[in-house]
Amino acid sequence: MRPSHLVPIVGLTFGLMALAPLARGDNQPDTKQPPQQPAPKQPAAKMTAGADAKQSPPVNLPITRVVMFSAGVAYFHREGDVTGDGRLDLRFDEGDVNDLLKSLVLTDKDGGKVRAVTYDNRMPLDITLKGFAVDVTENPTMGQLMHQVRGEKVEVADKTGVVTVGQIVSVERPAVPATGPDPGEILNLLTEDGLQTVELKQLKKIKLVRPELQAEFKKALEMLASARGDNKKAVSVVFSGNGKRKVAVGYVNEAPLWKPSYRLSVDEKGATRVQGWATIENTTDEDWTNVKVGLVAGRPMSFQMDLYDPLFVPRPMVEPDLFASLRPPMYQGGLNPTANMGGVAMGNATGNPTNVAGGFGGGGFGGGVVGIQGGQVGQVGQIGNLGGQFGLQGGFTGHYGTYPQRVPRPNLRTLYGDRLTYSEYVNRLRGNPTPVENDRPPMTTVKDPLDKRAGALAVADGALGDMFEYTIDEPITLAKQKSALVPLVNEAVESSRVSIFNAATLAKHPLLGLKLVNKTKLHLAQGPVTVFDGGTFAGDARLPDIKPGETRLVSYAIDLGTEVVAEPSETKRTLLTVAVADGKLVMRAGLKRVTTYQIRNRNPQDRTVIVEHPKHSGWKLVTPAKADDQTRSFYRFDSVVKAGALVTLEVTEESPAVDVYGLTETSRDALLRYASLKEAKPAVREVFTKLIELREKVDEAQKGIADEQELLKEIADDQDRIRKNIERTPKESEAFKRYLKKFDDQETEIEKRRARLKELKVELAKHEKALKDFAGTVKAE
C-alpha cells in the first residue's frame, strides 16, 4: 500500500492513494471510468528529475551567441556567471530533443564541474499521469477518487459540522428509490464505533489523515496544469563548484536557413558596388538581447538520429535443461492377510511401475479481486480396477468485475514499442544502418563552436575549410518570433558590361549581364541580386557562390538590341587511314562540324558578346584555337561588336571515328572496294589482293556446294513423284518398267552427287582455313 497525502481540491480536502487490485463488495457506484493504460512508475517533476536539480538554486544563462548554418540548423551559445551550485532550466520542443542530445556541450570553468543533465522522457502526458499513485487522467468523480484510496483513514465533515474519522471500506451507489431524493454515492467508513455510512453529497470536507500522498498528488496536478497546450520538454543542467565561475552551454537545434541577398549598383562610368544583407529569423521562444550572430555559408553535413527513445537489445532465449523425473513406484500388497487390512492394493499383480500414470495438471491463476467470479478448482481423478492410474486436473480462473481497477504497470518495452530485432542489433554492432536510420556521411570537422570571435561587418574564417562564416560586428537584439535584415558586405567590386548568348536559354537574343570580379575579402554566398544601372532598377539576377578573387557572370535582362543566329552545319566524315592487323580491317576517319554564329548589334553602343558554345564528349575544339573561357559544359568566346555591325564567329570541332571489320567475314565486293581506296597504301592493297584471291576460292567452293545441294533436291523431288506413280501403275505395264528404270538411274546419280558434295566440303574447309590463317597473321598499314 502506498503512503497517503492530504490534498485540498475544489473546496474538499481529501487524500488519494493507488492500491493493488481490490476486492469489491456487492454495492458499487455505477459511474464508470475508462480502462487505464499501464505506465511505469517514474519521478514526476515539472522541470527536473534529479535530487540535485531540486536542491540547486536556479541560474539564468542568456543566449550570447548564435551561429546559423545553411544546413537547416543553428548553434546556440549561452554564457554567464554562477556562484556555488546552480541549476539551469530550459524547455525544448519534443522534436528538438534529439539534436540537443547529439550536440550538447557544457563548460564549467575555475574548478567547477557539470553534473548529470536531466530531461523529461517522451511518454505522453496520460501515460505519465498514470505513473502517479493518484490517477487524474480521465477526470474522475469524487466516488471514483475515494474508491482509489480504499483502506485509507480519512476525516470527513458534513455540512452541519459533524466530524467523522474512519477508514474507507467501499464506495457504493444504491438504487434510486421510487419516491424521495436520490442519495447519490455512499461512502462506507470503518470507525471506532463500527461501520458508518455517509452520503458524499452531504460532505463539506474530506481530509486524509496520512499526509505522504499530498506531494505526489500535487505533482500530478501541477504536471496536468503545466502541460496544457504545451508540447515542451524540460531539461535541467546542474553546475557544482565553489565561488563565482564562468559557465557556458552550447547546443545545435533545427533552425530556418539564413538567406543572403545582394544589391549591385553600377554607375555611368562602370564603377560597381555590392551591398549584401542576410535575412535571419528568431523562431525560438526566447528574446535575443545583444547576441553575437554568425552566419555560415557552405554545405556542412547534418543528420538526425533518434537518441530520445530507449532501445532494447535482443537477448537469446535459453531453454532450461529438462531431466525426466523418476516416477514413484506403487508397491503391491503383501500375501499376508494381515498386511492387506490397512490399505488398498493398487496396480496389477506384476507390480509394473509403468502402469502408474498419475500426474498433476494445473490451469492458470488469474482474476480481478473486484467482481471475482468464483475461482474454480476442478479435480478429476480415477482409481481404476487395479489399473494403477491416478489423474488430477485443476485450475483457478476468475474474471474482472465492471468497476474500474488500477491496471498493473507494464514494463518499459510495452510503453516504448518493439525492441530491435536480432538482425537489426547485429547490423548496429557491425556499424551498418538499420532500415529506419539515415545513411551517415562522414562528419565535417569544424572549429570549436565555443571559441569566441570578434570581427568587423563580416569577417572571414579560413578555419572552417569549405565553409565560410560571417561574424556580424554589432550585437543584435531580436524579439522572439521576429525577423531581421543584418548587413554582410558593402564594398566596391570590379565588373564589365557584357551580353551573354546561350542558344539553350534564349535562341534569338543574348542576355544583358555583368562579368563580376569579387575583389572583396569575403566569400559571397549564393543568393538573389537586384541590379541598379545608372541609379535605376535594371533587373534581377542570381549570384552563385563566389570566392575572393573569383570571376562570375550574372545576367539580369534581355538585350533586345542584339540578335544572334546560330547555324550548325552537317557533320562531315573524312577517311584518314586504312590498316590490317589481327584479322581485322581498321579504318580511321575524322568527323568535322562547324557552327556559325552571326551576331548583329543594333544598339547605339558597342557590345561585348560572350557566346556559350556547348561542349560534347569526344569532340575537340579546332577553331578558334582556344576559348576565352570555359566551364564544365560550355566554351565561351568573346566578340566585340561595334554599334550597327555584324560579326561572324565560326566554331570548328573534330572527333575521331574508328570502324573495325572482320576480314574473314568481309565479302569479295567489299574487299575490292577497300583495295581501291586512295587512303590505302600499297602494302595494304597487296594484302587486299591476296585476300580477294582466297575469298574467291572460298566463294567458288561454297557455290559448288550450293549447286550440288540444289541438284540433289531436284532429284529427290522427282523420285517422290516417280514413287507415287509406281504405286498406282500395274506391274505388268511398260510404264511401270520405265518408272522403275528411271528411279534406279536416279539412285546412281544421287550417289555420284553426294560423293562430289563431300569433296567440295573438304575443299571449302581447306580454303576457309587458308583465309583464316592469312587474315590472322598478316599486318599492313
Residues 450-473 pLDDT 10s: 333 333 344 444 334 467 888 888
Strands 259-266 and 527-533: parallel
117/245 same-domain check: yes
Report long-range pairs for 761-764 (Cβ below 8 Å, ≥24 apart).
Answer: 761/705, 763/701, 763/704, 764/698, 764/701, 764/702, 764/705
pLDDT confidence of 425, banded at 50, 70, 90?
Answer: low
Range of weakest confidence among 13-27, 514-528, 549-563 = 13-27
Q: Is the pLDDT of residue 555 over 80?
A: yes
| Residue 351 is assigned to a structural domain of this protein | no
Cα–chain center distance at 200: 57
At 250, list the grid cell: 552550447
pLDDT confidence of 325, banded at 50, 70, 90?
Answer: low
167/59 same-domain check: yes
User: Residue range 727-733: average pLDDT?
Assistant: 88
281/140 same-domain check: no
Q: Is the pLDDT of residue 47 over 60?
A: no
User: Residue range 139-164: average pLDDT?
Assistant: 85
Q: Is the pLDDT of residue 436 over 70?
A: no
Instruction: State the DSSP H helix or E strand holding residue 575, giving kind and residue range, or none if neither.
Output: strand 572-581
Residue 81 to residue 245: CA distance in whole angstroms: 6
Mark which of 662, 690, 713 sits at the end of a domain: 662
Domain of residue 617, CATH code: 2.60.40
Burial 512-524 (b: 16+ CB within 10 A, else e): bbbbbbbebebbb
At 742, list the grid cell: 528411271
166/58 same-domain check: yes
pLDDT confidence of 105, banded at 50, 70, 90?
Answer: very high
135/215 same-domain check: yes
pLDDT at 297: 86
Handedness of CA 100, 101, 102, 104 (dihedral sign): positive
42/144 same-domain check: yes
pLDDT confidence of 397, banded at 50, 70, 90?
Answer: very low
Q: Is 99 exposed, middle or buried (0-12, 13-18, 19+ CB in 10 A)?
A: buried
588/600 same-domain check: yes
Range of weakest confidence among 371-380, 401-410, 530-539 = 371-380
Q: How many domains does the chain have?
A: 4
User: Residue range 180-195: average pLDDT?
Assistant: 86
Q: 127 by DSSP, 3-state: which?
A: helix
| Residue 321 is assigned to a structural domain of this protein | no
Instruction: Of 316, 311, 314, 315, give the one whose Cα is nearest residue 436.
Output: 311
Give the pLDDT confidence of 56-97 residue by residue, as tens digits.
788 999 999 999 998 889 999 999 999 999 999 998 988 899
0.85 surpassed by pTM: no
474/539 same-domain check: yes
pLDDT confidence of 340, banded at 50, 70, 90?
Answer: very low
Mark which of 254, 271, 287 sits at the end of a domain: 254
pLDDT at 422: 54
User: Residue range 43-48: average pLDDT?
Assistant: 37
Residue 333 to residue 344: CA distance in whole angstroms: 8
User: Residue range 492-521: average pLDDT?
Assistant: 93
Instruction: Of 162, 266, 251, 208, give the one whose Cα is nearest residue 557.
Output: 266
Range of weakest confidence among 7-21, 374-388, 513-527, 667-681 = 7-21
Mark which of 631, 662, 693 sits at the end of a domain: 662
- Angle (CA) 459-528-494 rounded to 5° is 60
655/673 same-domain check: no
pLDDT confidence of 181, banded at 50, 70, 90?
Answer: confident
Please state, for a pLDDT cut of 90, what percent of the chain lies above it: 41
Residue 623 to residue 620: CA distance in whole angstroms: 9
User: Residue range 641-649: average pLDDT?
Assistant: 95
Choose between 214 and 244: higher pLDDT. 244
User: Residue range 274-285: average pLDDT?
Assistant: 94
Q: What is the dihedral of CA 56, 59, 63, 65, to 10 degrees?
A: -80
Give the pLDDT confidence of 108-134 residue by residue, as tens digits.
988 889 988 988 877 767 777 777 777
| Residue 315 is assigned to a structural domain of this protein | no
Residue 763 to residue 761: CA distance in whole angstroms: 5
Q: Are 406 and 374 in contact (CB under 8 A)?
A: no
User: Residue range 6-34: average pLDDT?
Assistant: 34
Residue 239 to residue 111: CA distance in whole angstroms: 11
pLDDT at 315: 86
525/649 same-domain check: no
pLDDT confidence of 103, banded at 50, 70, 90?
Answer: very high
Phi first, then psi: what are they for 4, rounded to 5°?
-105, 160
pLDDT confidence of 136, banded at 50, 70, 90?
Answer: confident
Give the pLDDT confidence of 616-633 residue by residue, as tens digits.
999 999 999 999 999 999
Instruction: State the DSSP H helix or E strand holding residue 29, giving kind and residue range, or none if neither.
Output: none
| Residue 372 is assigned to a structural domain of this protein | no
| Residue 437 is assigned to a structural domain of this protein | no
User: For the chain, what is the mean pLDDT?
Assistant: 77
pLDDT at 420: 56
Strands 73-83 and 186-191: unpaired
469/611 same-domain check: no
pLDDT at 80: 94
Q: Is the pLDDT of residue 338 over 80?
A: no
What is the C-alpha end-to-end distance of the chain, expressed in Å?
105
pLDDT at 462: 39
Residue 64 to residue 78: CA distance in whole angstroms: 5
| Residue 340 is assigned to a structural domain of this protein | no
Residue 487: give the domain boundaries: 259-302+450-560
Q: Is the pLDDT of residue 665 over 70?
A: yes
214/122 same-domain check: yes
Range of weakest confidence among 109-123, 142-156, 351-365, 600-614 = 351-365
208, amino acid identity: L
Whose cell is 505519465? That residue is 128
pLDDT at 145: 80
pLDDT confidence of 427, banded at 50, 70, 90?
Answer: low
pLDDT confidence of 429, banded at 50, 70, 90?
Answer: low
Range of weakest confidence among 146-160, 435-449, 640-654 = 435-449
Range of weakest confidence among 301-315, 357-371, 508-522, 661-675 = 357-371
